[in-house]
Structure formats: C-alpha cells, structure tokens
Amino acid sequence: MDKIKLTGLDFYGYHGCLPEEREKGQHFLLDITMYADLKMAGETDDLSATINYAEVYETAKKIVEGEPCQLIEAVGERTAAAILRDFGKVQKVRVTVHKPQAPIPGIFEDAAISVVRTRS
C-alpha cells in the first residue's frame, strides 16, 4: 500500500497530568503516516485523487491545540480517528505523538507514543 507521511508537525498544547502542564503548555510534535492507494493520483496528477495533506495538518492542529487531554495516547487516538473519519481514501493511519518536554526526571531525548488504526 502507498503512503503519505507528514513528520515533525509542531503544535503548542496543554496536555498532561500535572497542573503546570495544563497551565504553561508545551510543544508536541506529530508524525502521521497515512496508507492509501495513490495510483490514480500518480497517473492523473489530480489533487482530488489523493489525500490533501494541508487539510490533514489542519485536522491535527485543531486536536493538539484544542481540548486538553491528560495522556498523549488520547491525543494520538483522537487524531487517528479524525483522519479515518474525514479522509475516506485513508485505509490505515499511524500517528506518533512526541512530548519532548515530558516531566521525566533525568536526561532524555523524547517521550512518544504511536497508535495505528485501520478503517473497519
């Protein structure tokens, strides 16, 4: 199956379990991989035959910058569900939510989750 990838989408949100995360907020990075049949788009060079990734970006932005969640798992789930709901050509989606400023004691590069959902 073909795929479209959006990586390093950077949004500011207020997700987390701690009060200071909800008050101050922080950056969240998303990587989204959408699986679909892109043959028609490649053959016709027609935007309507593919997935408009500018619209996918806006969908993700509304979720990450919208209603706060305690868990980044919920952010990933909401994003994956919205993509499958709103973009009919997507057959499978992987959403990775990175929380590089997670309140973890010690030195670390990133904290992230990935969800993979398939159209039923």
Name the active-site residue from 62, 89, 92, 99.
Answer: 99
Angle between helices 72-86 and 53-64 (to 10 degrees): 140
Catalytic (active site) residue 3: no
Q: By C-alpha distance, which of 106, 70, 87, 26 is closest to 79?
A: 87
Our CA angle for 49, 36, 48, nearest 5°, is 15
Active site residue ranges? 99
